[in-house]
Amino acid sequence: MIRMLLRVLGDEYARAMRRTVILMTITAVVEGLSYALLVPVLRALLGGTPADAVPWLAAFGAVVALYAVLRYISDLSGMRVGTTMLRGMYHRLGEHLARLPLGWYNAGRIGEVSILASRGLLQAMGVAAHLLAPFISALVTPLTIVAVMAAFNWRIGLAASLAVPLVAVIQGWTARATAVADAERHERDTEATGRVIEYLQAQPVLRAGGRTGERFRLLDDSLREAQRASRRTVLSVLPGMIGLTLVVQAMFTVLLTLGAYLALGGSIGAAEILAILVLAARCADPLLSLSDIGGKLRGARSELARLETVLRTEPLPEPPEPIQPAHHGLEFDAVTFRYGERTVLDKVSLTVPEGQRLAVVGPSGTGKSTLLQLLARFYDVDSGAVRVGGVDVRAISTEELTARIAIVFQDVYLFDGTIEDNVRLGRPDADEVEVRAAATAARLDEVIERLPGGWATNVGEGGTLLSGGERQRVSIARALLKDAPIVLLDEVTSALDPVNEVAVHEGIERLMAGRTVVMVAHRMRTVQRADRVVFLDGGRIVEEGGHDELLDHGGRYADFWNISMAPSAQGRG
């Protein structure tokens, strides 16, 4: 556990952590040793010479004072290390998340990372601040007491130390048994959460079928599965807990019996054996608390494991000697890209000369957006190469590549801030005039006029206070301001109402002028104006050529075009 913590933390914090552990161990040893003084005190008190107890009692008081100081220092040290680590880990995680490839972030990840970076991290780091001291003390203090007992009477010490290997075996065994059950439980819980979300989102249609509550079997089954898994977890913890209690109690019983036997045989003084039994009682309590602490440690451990998985994910490698692209042409050279088991792109080759426009058309789910993502190096290809200006994107520095490409996505994410902040993101050092010009070109100025706060209007988290079309205009203004030579458009106009569509089209037209463009489009009318069209299906290019050429060809593209054009002519006719 601690080894895992140290690994996640890195060398930086390992030293402070080790120091804290040593300090806590010393504190626990001092506590155990302080009990040794109880024996002479009790011997004097019970043996009829109470006055002899006073110096021993004074010594005991002194050791308790030492213990108090040590404990305060080690607690404080634990807290300090805990908060320093917390800060360090937040920074480390933040830096790491910013470097991970964009392809790593899918819908599920967002929720997972959000939880991990807020509560998860706190729980994992809480180990040092809250759990470490009780854990160390529960282990070390009893061991010290056993040593003390052995010093007073070797037979009793030997009997007590028999419990040590048993406790160790049981702890190890419980940890393994519960790890399996915990993993299963986590999986079932995730499954159940998924079903709950599904159940909530599909409410309208579920009600139409009368499938709410327990009548929605899929949900109810997963809830019951989650319950069964949690019961299995409990059952897997229980034997360990009982075993531990059994061992500790058996030890106490043995000491009680052995003590009685020795005392009756006269080989040990009554006062002495009673004092030793008081020590034995002190030994049992902390050991019994081990199973409770163990459970909490396991909780922190699974968070730690998740943290480690994220931190171990490799960012895309940076080229050691980056090359500058010579021009703004684009090229796919026999590119194959797999996502899990699925081959998304299968030996795709195509070129876009500088300043030309390529439209990518095809049924949904055939890898169109992936083409754009590979150009921006959200992922790396499995084989073949993607080249920008004749240079493999893997040989261009991230900064250089990002500077050359402007992307407009279908879903626009705006940061919580003013409209101006969000436009400026395109080029933070742009001056006032440039920002205003970009906004006008994207027809964002109309939107801004309508808004109560104008340029300073806050857009809310994710830009929720603006409509989809208005957000799209912000994103186009952003891209215009960036003024990058390569423009990638991903289904930009497919989710707009007519009024916004006109505005967005104008903005897009200005954005595309004189630049190398790759656009994924559903609206066939947008496609018409491309220099070349590729029709993608099943990860392969099935048709390629100019719009008219492909229409004459009468293949898949022509079908697509006819489906989308025919009825609208009918409607107006």
Partner 1 sequence: MTIPIDEDRRTTTTDLTRLAERSMTRLLRPHLRGFTAVVLLQVVGALAGLAPLLAVVELGRALLAPGPVDHDHVWTVVIAGAAGLLVRLLFTAASSGIGHVLDGRVQLTFRRQLAASLGRVPIGWFSRRRTGELAKVVGEDVSAVHPFIAHAPGELVAAFVVPLVSLIYLFTVDWRLTLITLIPVVLAMALVPLLMLPARTREQEAYDAAMGRIASSVVEFVQGISVVKAFGGGERAHRTFLTAADDFVSVFSRWVRGMSVIAAGMQLALSPPFVLLVVLVGGTALIISGGLAPADLLPFPLLGLGLTAPVAALGHGFDDLQSAGRAVNRIKDVLAVRPLPEPTHPRPPRGHRVELRGVRFAYDTGHEVLRGIDLVLEPGTVTAVVGPSGSGKSTLAQLLPRFFDPTHGSVLLGGVDLREIDNRELYRQVSFVFQDVRLLRASVADNIALAVPRAGRHDVVRVARLAGIHDRVLRLPRGYDTVLGEEAKLSGGEAQRISIARALLADAPVLVLDEATSFADPQTEQAVRRALAALQGDRTILVIAHRLETVADADTVVVLEDGAIVERGVPADLLTRDGRFAAFWRSHQSAETHGGAPRGDEPR
196 lines the binding site for partner 1 (CB under 8 A): yes
- Contact region with partner 1 (CB under 8 A), list: 5-13, 160-168, 379-387, 460-468: 460-468
Q: Any contact of residue 54 with partner 1 (CB under 8 A)?
A: yes
Near partner 1 by CB under 8 A: residue from 22, 158, 180, 242: 242
Choose which of 25, 230, 356, 440 interacts with partner 1 (CB under 8 A). Answer: 230
- Scanning residues 495 to 534, which ones bind partner 1 (CB under 8 A)? 495-499, 501-502, 505-506, 522-526, 528-529
Please tell me whether residue 558 binds partner 1 under the rule CB under 8 A: no
Please identify which residue in 3, 11, 98, 321 interacts with partner 1, judged by CB under 8 A: 98
For partner 1, the binding residue among 22, 158, 281, 326 (CB under 8 A) is 281
CA atoms within 13 A on the CB side of 92: 18
Q: Does 129 bind partner 1 (CB under 8 A)?
A: yes
| Cα gap 259→497, rounded to integer Å | 89
**Residue 208 touches partner 1, criterion: CB under 8 A:** yes
Measured from the CB atom, the residue of 320 and 571 that comes closer to partner 1 is 571
- As measured in angstroms, the least distance from the Cβ of 216 to partner 1 is 7
What residue type is 178 in one-letter code?
T
Closest distance of CB 355 from partner 1, Å: 14
Closest residue by Cα to residue 271 from 37, 42, 35: 42
- The footprint of partner 1 on residues 285-344 (CB under 8 A) is 285
Count residues binding partner 1 (CB under 8 A). 162
Does residue 363 sit in helix, strand or coil? coil
Instruction: Single out the residue of 70, 113, 287, 489 in contact with partner 1 (rule: CB under 8 A).
Output: 113
Please tell me what DSSP assigns to residue 79: H
Looking at 58-66, 172-180, 345-353, 436-444, which segment touches partner 1 (CB under 8 A)?
58-66
Q: How far is the CB of 419 from partner 1 (least distance, A)?
A: 14
* 421 binds partner 1 per the rule CB under 8 A: yes
The window from 111-119, 157-165, 379-387, 431-439 that contacts partner 1 (CB under 8 A) reads 111-119
Of the candidate residues 1, 256, 451, 465, the single one contacting partner 1 (CB under 8 A): 256
Please identify, using beta-carbon distances, which residue of 22 and 563 lies nearer to partner 1. Answer: 563
Cα-only R_g, the chain: 35
- With 0-12 / 13-18 / 19 or more C-beta atoms within 10 angstroms meaning exposed / middle / buried, residue 213 is exposed
Site for partner 1 in 71-90 (CB under 8 A): 71-72, 75-76, 79-80, 82-83, 86-87, 90
Cα(242)–Cα(291) distance, integer angstroms:
9
DSSP characters over 499-562: HHHHHHHHHHHHHHTTSEEEEE-S-HHHHTTSSEEEEEETTEEEEEE-HHHHHHHTSHHHHHHH
Copy the structure tokens of residue 65: 């004072």
Q: Is 162 in the site for partner 1 (CB under 8 A)?
A: no
Asked if 166 touches partner 1 (CB under 8 A), the answer is no
Please, are residues 34 and 67 in contact by the beta-carbon 8 Å criterion? yes
Instruction: Give me 51's structure tokens.
Output: 């006055």
Residues 6+ apart with CB under 8 A from 278: 38, 42
User: What is the footprint of partner 1 within residues 131-150 (CB under 8 A)?
Assistant: none
Other C-beta atoms closer than 10 Å to the C-beta of 300 total 21
Q: Which residue of 218, 326, 334, 456 would you call a contact of partner 1, by CB under 8 A?
A: 218
Nearer to partner 1, 199 or 332 (CB): 199
Closest to partner 1 by CB, 353 vs 417, is 417
User: Among 436, 423, 430, 428, which Cα is nearest to 479's?
Assistant: 423
